Structure 1
Amino acid sequence: MSAFVTLANSFYASYSVQRQLLIDNTLEENRVYATKLAASTEQFLKSMQKQLAYSGVIAASHFDDPKILQAETARLKYQTDSFNSVVITNAKGKILATSPDSLQLMGQTLNTPGALEALKQRRPMISKPYISLAKNLVIIISTPIINAQGEYLGYIGGTIYLRQKSILNELLGEHYYRDGSYIAVLDNERRILYHPDANRIGEVVKPRPLTDAVKRNANGSLMVTNLAGQAMLAGFAVVPSSGWEIVTQRPTDSTLKPLEGLMYKVLRHLTPLALVTLLAVWLFSRLIARPLWLLARSANEMDKPDVSTNIREIPSWYFESTQLKRALLIGISLLQKKIGKLKFETQTDPMTGLFNRRGLAMTLETVVQLRQQFAAITLDIDHFKSINDSYGHDTGDQVIRSLAEQIRHNARESDILCRVGGEEFLVLLPGAQLAEAEMIAERLRKNVENLVLPGIRPITISLGVAYWNQQQGKPEESLKRADEALYQAKKEGRNRVVVSQKH
C-alpha cells in the first residue's frame, strides 16, 4: 500500500506540476501577445495620426479649394486603406470634403459626439465610440487644421468602423489560436471596441476581476471566468496613446488538453515499472512478514505439544524475527513447565503424590483408548477412624503417607496409583491378568500387616480385585466390582483380599 500510494503521489505530483506549468506558460504567452498587439496598435495609431497631421498641413494651405480638399480625403481613404471614411470640416463642423462620396454628407453640419469633441478639444485625439450620421458605430481619429497664422480652421478626421470590416479587424482579427481563444479590445470606460462576437461591440462591460486588474497594471495575466462560466487564461496590455485595453483569452480546457495525452504517455511508461516495483515490494514484504506470521500463528497454538518443534522449523533470516523466535521458544518452555506443573498438581494428591480422581479419570481414558485390558485393586485402611481418634489427624496423615509408600514399593512401574478418598486407594494394572493382580494385592497386604510404625499400633488393609477387557462393558463397571469386592473383604473380617468373579 505504501509503495502504491507513493507511486500514485508521484503521478499526481507530476500531473500537478505539468498542469501548473502549462497554465503559467499560457498566461505568460497571452501577456506577451497582448503586449505585442498593444505595441502594434500604438504604432498603427501614431502612423495614422502622422498621416492626418500631414494632410492637415496640406488642407490648411488650400482650405478655400474644395477640389484639393476632396482629393486629399480621397488619398487618405484609398492610399493606405487605414480609414473607412475621411472627412474635413470647418471650425463649425460643416463638412467641406469627404470620402467616399457614397456617404453623401457634403455640406452637412456634424453634431455627433466624436465631431463635437474634436471641435471642442482642437488637438489630435481619438474619440470614444459613437453612432455616425451614416448610422455606423465608429471611432474617429482627428487632428486640427491650423493655418500659418495659428488660426483654427477645422479638423481632418478618419473614421474606423467597429462592426464592419476595417483596419482594426484586420489588425486584431487574425489570432494565432483556433481553439476558442479570442481577443477583445476595450476603451478606458470598459466599452468593447472589438470582439469576435460583433453583437457585443459597443457594450459596456461591468467591473470584473480582469477589468479591475487592467486598470491597476499596464500589462499582466490572470485566471478568470467569462460570462458563459468558462475558465479562461487571460493576458492584457494597455495602448498608451488611446488608453485602449487589449485582452487575449484562451480557454483553460484547451490549454490543458495536451496534458491528457502527456499523462497517458507517462502512465503507459510508468505502469510496467510500477507493476514490477509493486510485485517486488509484495514479494519482499511477504518474505519479511512470513516468519512473523508463522510465529504469530504458533503463538496461538502454544498449548499443542509439538509447537516448539514447529517454531524451530520457522525460517528466521533477519535479526528481529530471530529474536522473536528465541523469545517465543523460551516463553513456550516456561509456559509448558508451568502448565505441566499445574496439570500435575490438579491430577495428583498433594499429601501422597499419587493420582487423585481427576488423574484417575484421565489415565483410565488413555488406557481405554489404547484398547488395553487392565486389573483394578481397591483398598482402604481397616479401622482408620479409630487411628485418627486415638492418635490424632497428624498421625493419621502419616499412616496414609506410609501406605502410599508401600503401594509404590509393591506396584509395577507401569501401574497407575491413585488416592481416591480419605484412606481409600486404587491401583490400575494395565495388561495384568486377574491372577497377577491378586498376587500383587496379597503381597501388598502382607507388607502392610508387617509394617512397623513407631508409636502406632499395627495397621491392616482390605483389598478388592476386579478385571476388565473390551468385552466386559464400560471400565467404570470393573471399578465398581472392585469396590464391591472390597466391601466383601470388610464383611469377611478385614485384612484380606477378595477377588471379584463377576464379568
Structure 2
Amino acid sequence: MSLLHVKQAIQKRKVSLTTLMIGLVSVSVLLMLTILLIASYQSKKQALYETTLTLNLSTASKMSMTMDSLFESMRSSLKNAADFYSLNSDMKQSDSGKYLDLIRNSSNYFNSIVVVDENGVMRTLSPSSIGKAGEPIKTAAAKEALASRKPYLSKPYTSATTKNLMVFISEPLFDQKGVYRGYIGGSLYLQQNNVLNMIFGNDNLDHNGSYFYVVGSDGHLMYDPDKSQIGKDSTSNLIVQKLIKGQSGQELAVDEVGVKWLAGYSYVPENQWGVVVLSPISIVKEQLNNHIQAILLYTLIPFILLMLVTTFLARRLAKPFVTLANIVSKMGKEEVPIPAMKHHWNREADLLTSTVILAMNGIKTETDRLTQAAMTDALTGLNNRRTLETIMKKWIEEKKHYSIVVLDIDRFKTINDTYGHQEGDRVLQHLADIVRFSVSPDDLCSRYGGEEFVVLLPNAAPHVAFETAERIRTTMASSENHLKQMVTVSLGVAQFPSHAQTADELFLLADQALYKAKHAGRNKTVMAD
C-alpha cells in the first residue's frame, strides 16, 4: 500500500469538525433533556405522593368523625332507652318488647337489642329469634357488661346463639333510687347488613383501586369491602399498631405480599377504632408515565427544529476552518493565496450557545406552563375546568353527595364593550375573591370559562347550597368594585343524587337553572327542578 493510500485511510477514520460539533450539541441537549425529565419525574412523583397521602388522611379523618358521631348517637339511643326503663320499671313484658322493636327498627343502629337484669337474666329481646326471655346470659361480653356497671363496648366475638361475628354496646340501668338493675345492650353483626354498610356502602372500591377498612381497638377488622376478612386479626400491620395506640397520620405502607400503598389513617376516639384509607402506588406510577409522555411529546418538535438549526450553525461555524485546512494542505505543492480572515465564527459560536440555552429555557418554561395550566385558571387563580370535571366525575363514582352552583356575571359583554376587556378581567378577579370568601375551605371553586364560575359543595344539602349561592349573589351585588357600579350575578343550583345521576346531567340542570334566573330578570338564584 502506498503512502498516499495510508494517508487517505487515516483521513477517513478522523471525525470532521462539523460532525463533532453536531454530535457534541446533540449529546448536550439529550443530557439536559434527560436531567430535565429525571428532575421533573422526581418532583412530580413527590407531589403526587404528598397529594395522595394528604387526600387519604383527609378522607380517613372525615370518616372517623362520621363514625365517632355514629357511635355517640348509638350510645345516646341506648342511654335514652335506659332512662326510659328507669322511669317505667313496672312495664309489661309485651310493651317492653314492642318498645325494643321500635328502637331497633326506627334507628337501624342495632341488629338486636336485649334488656338484662342485675342477676344476668334476659328480660326482653328484639328480635325474639335471638333467644328466650328468662334465660341467663352466656357470652363473656354480656357478663363483662353486667359486671362493669357502666357503658361498655366489647371486642368482636362470635355469638353462641346466632353464630354471628358481632360487637356489643351496653348502657347500665338504674332505678329511681340509683340502684343498679342491669343493662340494655345492642349488637352489631359485622358480617351482615348493618349501620356501617348503610353509611359507608357495601363496596368502597373506586376506579383506581383505592379502598378503606376499619379496625377495632384490639386490631381485628370491623369493616372491609371483602366481608370474608371481617374479624381477621391484623395486629401485625404497622399502621394498625399505631391506631391501637391512638395515633393518626399518613405514610407509605407495604402489605404482607409486598404491595406498596399510600395510606392515610385516623383514630376514632368514641370507640377506640381506626379508619385506614389506602391507594395503590401504581396509580401514581401511571400518572407519572403520562406526565413523562406528555413532556416528550411537547419537546419532540422543538428538538427536531433545534437539530436542524444546530446543523446549519455547525456548518457555518466550521466553514472557515475547513477553508483554512484546505489551504494548509495545499501549501508546499502550489501557490495558494491566503484569504483575509474573518471573525464571524465567534458570533456563530455565541449564537449556538444562546440557541442551546434558549432551548433549555423553552423546555422548562413549557413544562411549567403545562403543569400550571393543567390545574389552575391563570386569571383568577381558581381551579380550571379540567380540575372541576375530574373532581365531579370522581365524586359521582364514589356516590358522594354534593351540590353544584353555576354562576354567571349579568351583562358581562356590556362591561367588556363599555370599559374594555382589561376592566372586565378585573371584574372576574373581583368575583373570584367573593366566591372564595363566601364558601368554606372544603368547597371547590372553579372558573368554568369566560364569565362562568362553578362551586362544588361536598355533602351539602340543596337548601345549604341555595343559601351559599344567595350569599355569593348578595355579596357581589352589594360589594364595591373598581367600576363604581353594581355588578350582579345569576346562579343555578343542583344536587347529586337528588337531581341527577351523572356529572353531565347535574351540570346541565344547574346550567338550565342559571338561564332560568337570567330569564327571570337576572340577579337571582334558581334551584334545579
- In which range does the TM-score fall when normalised by the shorter chain? 0.5 to 0.7
The residue number in structure 2 matching 1:288 is 317
Counterpart Cα distance in 2 of 1:308 and 1:240: 100
Is 1:62 matched with 2:88? yes
The alignment yields a C-alpha RMSD, in angstroms, of 2.8
1:117/1:292 Cα in 2 relative to 1: closer, same or farther (>3 Å)? Answer: farther
Are the structure 2 counterparts of residues 225 and 321 from structure 1 closer, same or farther at C-alpha, using a change threshold of 3 Å?
closer
The answer to whether residue 268 in structure 2 is matched with residue 239 in structure 1 is yes
Unaligned stretches of 5+ in structure 1?
323-503
What is the identity, as a one-letter code, of the residue corresponding to 2:71?
L
Q: For residues 442-465 of structure 1, give each alpha carbon's deviation from its aligned partner in whole angstroms, at most 9, with x where no partner exists.
A: xxxxxxxxxxxxxxxxxxxxxxxx
Indicate the residue corresponding to 2:37 in structure 1: 11
Q: Aligned in 2, Cα 1:270/1:105: closer, same or farther, shift over 3 Å?
A: farther
Q: Deviation string for 1:430-483 (max 9, x for gaps)?
A: xxxxxxxxxxxxxxxxxxxxxxxxxxxxxxxxxxxxxxxxxxxxxxxxxxxxxx
Q: What corresponds to 2:389 in structure 1?
A: none
Shift of residue 41 of structure 1?
Answer: 0.3
1:283 positional shift: 3.4
Q: Is the 8 A contact 1:87 1:98 kept in 2?
A: yes
Structure 1 equivalent of residue 135 of structure 2 = 108
Given the two structures, how large is their TM-score scaled by the length of structure 2?
0.55
Q: Which of the numbers 264, 271, 285 marks the counterpart of 2:293?
A: 264
After superposition, the Cα gap between the structure-2 partners of 1:292 and 1:202, relative to the gap in structure 1 and judged at 3 Å, is farther
Q: How does 1:319-338 map to 2 (within 5 A)?
A: none
Partner of 2:195 in structure 1?
167
Return the match for 2:250 from 196, 199, 221: 221
Larger radius of gyration: 1
SS at match of 2:257: coil
Corresponding residue SS for 1:190: coil
**Gap change, CA 1:271 and 1:63, over 3 Å in 2:** same
The equivalent residue for 1:195 is 224
Q: How does 1:371-410 map to 2 (within 5 A)?
A: none
* Equivalent-residue separation in structure 2 for 1:201 and 1:295 (angstroms): 85
Alignment of structure 1 residues 207-218 onto 2, 5 Å: 207-215=236-244, 218=247
Structure 2 residue aligned with 1:33 = 59
Aligned to 2:302: 273
Contact 1:34 1:237 in 2 (8 A): yes
- Whether the 8 Å CA contact 1:86–1:156 is kept in 2: the answer is yes
**2:186 is paired with a residue of what secondary structure?**
strand
Partners of 1:310 and 1:80 in 2: CA distance? 107
One-letter amino acid matched to 2:176: A
Post-superposition shift, 1:103? 2.0
In structure 2, the partner of 1:178 is 207
1:84 maps to 2:111 = yes
2:157 corresponds to: 130
1:213 CA displacement: 4.1
Q: Distance between the aligned counterparts of 1:292 and 1:189, measured in 2?
A: 82
Write the distance in 1 (CA, Å) between the matches of 2:76 and 2:154: 16
Aligned-pair CA distance for 1:192: 1.1
Distance in 2 of aligned mates of 1:314 and 1:68: 116
Q: How far off is 1:53 after superposition?
A: 0.4
Any conservation in 2 of the 1:113–1:130 contact (CA below 8 Å)? Answer: no
Shift in Å, 1:216: 5.8
Q: Which moved more, 1:94-103 or 1:206-215?
A: 206-215
Q: Is the 8 A contact 1:63 1:69 kept in 2?
A: no
Contact 1:291 1:316 in 2 (8 A): no
Q: Given the alignment of the two structures, is residue 152 of structure 1 paired with residue 183 of structure 2, yes or no?
A: no
Confirm whether residue 48 of structure 1 aligns to residue 74 of structure 2: yes
Partners of 2:315 and 2:242 in 1: CA distance? 59
Does the Cα contact within 8 Å between 1:298 and 1:307 map onto a contact in 2? no
Contiguous gaps of at least 5 residues in structure 2: 1-26, 350-529
Q: Distance in 2 between matches of 1:191 and 1:296?
A: 84
**Shift in alpha-carbon separation, 1:170–1:294, aligned structure 2, 3 A:** farther
Q: 1:263 to 1:94 in 2, by over 3 A?
A: same
Could you tell which deviates more after superposition, 182-191 or 29-38?
182-191
Alignment partners' CA distance in 1, 2:50 and 2:237: 21
1:189–1:295 Cα change, 3 Å:
farther
> Which one is further off, 164-173 or 74-83?
164-173
1:119 and 2:115 correspond? no
Structure 1: distance between partners of 2:243 and 2:315: 62
Q: TM-score w.r.t. structure 1 length?
A: 0.58
Quick one: which amino acid aligns to residue 95 of structure 1? M
1:190 shift after superposition: 1.3
- CA change 1:216–1:56 in 2 (3 A) is closer
Write out aligned runs for 1:435-446 (5 A).
none
User: Contact (CA 8 Å) 1:181, 1:248: kept in 2 or not?
Assistant: yes
Higher mean displacement: 289-298 or 147-156: 289-298
What code does the residue aligned with 2:305 have?
A: V
| CA-to-aligned-CA distance 1:39-98 (integer Å, 9 cap, x gap) | 000000001111100001112233343223212211111011111111111113211111
Q: Is the contact between residue 3 and residue 281 of structure 1 (CA under 8 Å) also seen in structure 2?
A: no
Counterpart AA for 2:197: N
How far does residue 137 in structure 1 lie from its aligned partner after superposition? 0.5
User: 2: CA distance between counterparts of 1:261 and 1:128?
Assistant: 46
- What's the offset of the Cα at 1:152? 0.8
SS of aligned partner of 2:99: helix
Cα distance in 1 for partners of 2:255, 2:334 equals 74
Q: Which amino acid aligns with 1:164?
A: Q
Q: Secondary structure at the match of 2:166?
A: strand
Q: Contact conserved, 2:213 with 2:276, CA < 8 A, in 1?
A: yes
Distance change (3 Å), C-alpha of 1:320 and 1:177: closer
Shift, 1:236, TM fit: 0.4
Conserved in 1, the CA contact under 8 Å of 2:219 and 2:240?
yes
After superposition, give the CA deviation of every residue in 1:284-310 in whole Å (9 maximum; x if it has no partner). Answer: 3443355456667877x58x5159948
Q: What one-letter code is carried by the residue in structure 2 that aligns with 1:54?
A: N
SS of residue paired to 2:188: strand
CA distance in 2, matches of 1:321, 1:26: 49
Which SS does the other structure have where 1:138 is aligned? strand
Distance 1:275 1:3 in 2: 11
